[in-house]
Amino acid sequence: MNDVRNKLLQAKDLMEQDRWAQARTVLLEAVRKAPTDQNALVLTRFCLTRLGEKTQALYYAQKAAEHYPTNPDILTNLAQSLISNGKSDDAVVILERVLESAPAHPHARVALCSTLIDRVRHVEALRQAQEGMVHHPGHPDLARIATQALISLGRCDEAAHEIRPVVMANPTNVNLLQLQAAAHIYAASVTPEDVSAAHLAHGRMLERLMPASTEPFKNDRDPDRPIRVGLVAGDFRRHASYYFLTGLLDRYDRERVQLVLYHNYAEQDAHTARLRAMVERGVNDRWETFRDISRMQHHEAAALIRRDGVDVALDLAGITLGSALPMFCHRVAPVQATWLGYPCTTGVRQMDYRITDAVIDPAGTESFSSEELLRIDPCWACWRAPEDAGEVNPVPPSQRSAGEPITFASFTALQKFNEPMIRAWCRVLREVPNSRLLIKNNRLVSEQVREVTARRFELAGLARERLVMEGPNTSGSTIIDEYSRVDIVLDSWPYNGYTTTLEAAWMGVPTVTRVWGTPPGRFGLLVNRQIGLEDLAAYDDEGFVSLAVGLARDADRLRSLRSALRERVRTSGHGDADVYCRGFEAAMRTVWRRWCEGGRGGPAAR
């Protein structure tokens, strides 16, 4: 046994030196000599997991569990190996069994909560995390999962409130800081100052973890030459951002601007291929136009973008999926800006600009951003409708046959829901007799989520039978065609719909919006102003209720808008890609010229 013990000590030493392959050889020899040794089995499973040998790791996790069937640590290891092998349901059963006998076991609790989140079982994940914090108050991982669940369930005010003391106790935990910022942007009970402060706190911590490079950029400081613009995102795929990118990528001036896409998400699809083909068109192999950086470390991707000679790097993710903010903290290009994917400040001081417009960020809002605001007017992005959008039914559903009720609807994400908004929506329905509310989003695929959501509306005074809740389509029809069932969209706040508002208008359905004091709280105003419906933008809850009720009672206007809105979108600032591209190119030229003249941006070589 001394020989086995020595081999385990040797393996640990090798792993500390990051020599995992050598450690693997030593551990396999140790477990061959002592096939029931607990430490040998555990270390072997750990090493194989680190090397990506998931199937072999599971084998040794199962062997350990056979010999030590009541050990909660070993059973938790088994569950984690099952998860990595795509057997999450089996893992949940094991973890629940562990917690029945050892309810205070933190690793089993965190593993179970994380798995439930991944399985879109947010109600259960929240309950498990809250039970875990009874045993471990303020546990950062359990608090993180509870916050994720609350956000996903549309309880962002609770999330923003409950995460604050945990962040104060763990001020360097960047994951908690990111979630705090995410909760604040959706919460109705916080101020614009609070939203900005939460993002600034997150940005400052990122900067500590990934300090800016002092290496000067050697880019040719000719202000009039073609400039290379790198777009960094995880959304070059079937995603809402796709429909805001196609107009730009199709119509930009390839003689003046060279676009490069840096894809920061492991999966690609047919939409990825289309975007890639757009930027490759007419390039003739003069430069790279598409880079997959999803498997790179931040410093590796940053070095690649520098080598590619990008002049202006655009972050299209903010703190959402595919975020590359640590890379931007390091500084990847002479000029850096954030755009499109996240409508709020990044809080990162190395981010020079935030691309916006005069509606989303009107004059006087500059202090809420760590970046300088770069406005492209009349709107910060152009949009194309999905290719599979059907034709508009010119008759609103409430007018297709006698006695049909008005159908209000919201197809926005559940995290945008909150109690003041729900109360206002319910007031609208109570004042429009026999009307109903159709809510449709991905979270409502869960029966538990539908139940807790229905209860929120009941508490706000709406009978359950007037509420229709649906998850994503499964029949092959697209979500945009579902607007044929809708008379009026009720917007969310403080985070308005944006893509959903444009899609609704494309299908002839008007949106009544509520303006708020943050950038995403002015999306509805932006769209409605562009399509001539600014009179459907309210500035308080009372006004919102009044506008929605008044529109529901105006059958003639609903009918006339049904046929007019698609053309209004097509001819708006959102729909005119040529006009938008010239504005985008001018903005890129402006910031590039500033850097060439010694202005804002990263250090230049002398």
Report pLDDT digits (tens) over 84-122.
999 999 999 999 999 999 999 999 999 999 999 999 899
Residue-wise DSSP of 340-373: SS--S----TT--EEEE-TTTS-TT-GGG-SSEE
In this structure, the answer to whether residues 13 and 126 fall within a common structural domain is yes
pLDDT of 286: 63
Task: Check whether 573 has a pLDDT greater than 70.
Answer: yes
Phi, then psi, of 142 in degrees rounded to 5: -70, -40
pLDDT of 475: 62
In whole angstroms, give the CA distance from residue 517 to residue 400: 39
In this structure, the answer to whether residues 318 and 339 fall within a common structural domain is yes
In this structure, the answer to whether residues 162 and 49 fall within a common structural domain is yes
What's the pLDDT band for 4 if we cut at 50, 70, 90? confident
In whole angstroms, give the CA distance from residue 38 to residue 271: 49
Residue 214 within any structural domain of the chain: no
Residue 218 within any structural domain of the chain: no
Number of domains in the chain: 3
Residue 220 within any structural domain of the chain: no
Across 18-37, b (16+ Cβ under 10 Å) vs e yields: eebeebbebbbbbbeebeeb
Report pLDDT digits (tens) over 14-73.
999 999 999 999 999 999 999 999 999 999 999 999 999 999 999 999 999 999 999 999
Residue 433 within any structural domain of the chain: yes
Residue 458 within any structural domain of the chain: yes
In this structure, the answer to whether residues 77 and 202 fall within a common structural domain is yes
What percent of the chain lies above the pLDDT cut of 70? Answer: 98
Report pLDDT digits (tens) over 141-171.
999 999 999 999 999 999 999 999 999 999 9
Place of tokens 């691309």: 355
In whole angstroms, give the CA distance from residue 274 to residue 480: 20
In this structure, the answer to whether residues 368 and 414 fall within a common structural domain is no
Range of the structural domain that residue 197 is part of: 2-209
Residue 219 within any structural domain of the chain: no
In this structure, the answer to whether residues 438 and 323 fall within a common structural domain is no
CATH, residue 588: 3.40.50.11380
**180: helix, strand or coil:** helix
Average pLDDT over residues 78-88: 95
This prediction has a pTM of 0.92
CATH, residue 164: 1.25.40.10
Residue 77 within any structural domain of the chain: yes
In this structure, the answer to whether residues 203 and 244 fall within a common structural domain is no
Report pLDDT digits (tens) over 464-490.
999 999 998 866 567 899 999 999 999
On whether the CB atoms of residues 500 and 483 are closer than 8 A, the answer is no
Report pLDDT digits (tens) over 221-236.
999 999 999 999 999 9
CATH, residue 521: 3.40.50.2000
Across 333-364, b (16+ Cβ under 10 Å) vs e yields: bbbbbbbbbbbbbbbbebbbbbbbbebbbeee
In this structure, the answer to whether residues 363 and 261 fall within a common structural domain is yes
Measured in whole angstroms, how far is the alpha carbon of residue 161 from the centre of its chain?
A: 21
Residue 280, classified by CB atoms within 10 Å of its CB into exposed (0-12), middle (13-18) or buried (19+), is middle
Could you give the residue ranges of the DSSP H alpha helices within 516-576?
523-530, 541-552, 555-570
Residue 606 within any structural domain of the chain: no
Task: End-to-end CA distance of the chain: give it in Å, rounded.
Answer: 65
In this structure, the answer to whether residues 584 and 560 fall within a common structural domain is no
